[in-house]
Amino acid sequence: MRRPSDYRDEMDRLDPRLVDAALAGRETGEPALDRAAQLVADLRRALLEEPGTQAPRHLAAMAAAAEHEVWGSSTVLSEHRAARPGRRRLAGVALAAVLLLGAGMAWGAVSLPDQASDRAEEAVAAAQERGNGAPEAGQTEGVETEDGTHGEQVGEVAHDDSLEGCEKGQAVSEVAGSNADEGGPKHDPCAKGDEGGQAGGAGQEASAKGKAKAEEAKAKDHGPPEDAGAPGKVKEKEKP
C-alpha cells in the first residue's frame, strides 16, 4: 500500500508539460498520471453541458442588462457626468444673462412679466364687459387728447394766484374730480364748523363738543379746557 506522500512525491517530480498534458486529458506515458488524466477527461465531459432550457432566460437577462444598464442609463450617466462642467458653465452664463436682462427691464420698464401682463389683459376684458373698457387702438389718440385737456385745466387752476388756501385746494379738487363719478355725498371742506365732514364720526362730534366747551369758558373769562380740540381725550372722558 502506497502512502499519500508517495503520490505527492511522484507528481512533484513530473515534468510540468506532462502535468499540462494530463490536465488536457492526453496520455502521458506515466501510468498513475494517465489514470488521473482519464479521470480529468471524464470530469470535463461530465461537467461541460449545454445550458439547454436556461439559455433563453440567460440571453434575455443579458439583453435586458445591455438595454437598461450599459447602453441605457449607464452610458447616458457617464456622458452626463462628462458634460457636467460645461453645463455648469452654461448654467452660470444663463443665470447671469437672466439677471442682467431682468435688471435692464426694470430700469427701462420695457414690459411686464407674463403673469402681470395676463392680469392686465384680464382686467381690460372685465372692464370692457362693464362698458368701461380700455380704448380701442383707433381711439387712443382721442383719449389722450381728452386727458391732456383735463390736465391742462387742472394745471391752470393750480397756477391761478387769485385763489389761496382752502379755496384754491377746493377749486383744484373740483376741476380734477370733474371726470370722476358724480355720485356720493359731497361736502364743503372750507365750511367753518364742519371740519371733519360727515365722515368724521365720533371724534368729530367730540371735537364740536370741545369747541362748545371752549366757547363757554371764553364767556366766563377762563382759558379753553386742556382737552379742547383733542377728540380722543374727550372721548375717553365721556366714557362711563
Partner 1 sequence: MIGDAFTPVLEAARSGEPWAFEVIYRDLAPAVLGYLRGQRAAEPEDLASDVFVGVVRGLPSFRGDEGGFRSWVFSIAHRRLVDERRRLARRREDAVDPSLMSGPLAASSVGDAEAEALDRIKQGWALRVLGLLTEDQRSVLLLRILADLSVEEVAGILGKRPGAVKTLQRRALASLARHLDREGVS
| Interface with partner 1 (CB under 8 A) | 2, 4, 7-8, 10-12, 14, 16, 19, 22-25, 32-33, 35-36, 39-40, 42-44, 46-51, 54-55, 57-59, 61-63, 65-67, 69-71, 74-75
Closest approach of partner 1 to the CB of residue 102, in Å: 44
Q: What angle do CA 159, 161, 163 make, to 5 degrees?
A: 105
Nearer to partner 1 by Cβ, of 25 and 169: the residue is: 25
Nearer to partner 1 by Cβ, of 4 and 165: the residue is: 4
Question: Cα–Cα distance between 83 and 136 in angstroms, integer?
Answer: 52
Instruction: Copy the grid coordinates of residue 36.
Output: 488521473
Nearer to partner 1 by Cβ, of 5 and 162: the residue is: 5
Distances (CA, A) of 35 to 6, 18, 38, 126: 16, 13, 5, 104
3-state class (DSSP) for residue 12: helix
Closest approach of partner 1 to the CB of residue 87, in Å: 23
Nearer to partner 1 by Cβ, of 1 and 199: the residue is: 1
**What are the residue ranges of helices labelled H in the chain?**
4-12, 16-23, 31-47, 55-65, 75-108, 114-130, 140-158, 165-176, 202-219, 231-238
Closest approach of partner 1 to the CB of residue 30, in Å: 9
In one-letter notation, the amino acid at residue 103 is A
Closest approach of partner 1 to the CB of residue 80, in Å: 15
Nearer to partner 1 by Cβ, of 5 and 111: the residue is: 5
Closest approach of partner 1 to the CB of residue 126, in Å: 60
Closest approach of partner 1 to the CB of residue 14, in Å: 7
3-state class (DSSP) for residue 85: helix
Question: Cα–Cα distance between 66 and 230 in angstroms, integer?
Answer: 89
Q: What angle do CA 44, 46, 50 make, to 5 degrees?
A: 95
Closest approach of partner 1 to the CB of residue 81, in Å: 14
Nearer to partner 1 by Cβ, of 70 and 126: the residue is: 70
Question: Cα–Cα distance between 200 and 184 in angstroms, integer?
Answer: 16
Nearer to partner 1 by Cβ, of 9 and 121: the residue is: 9
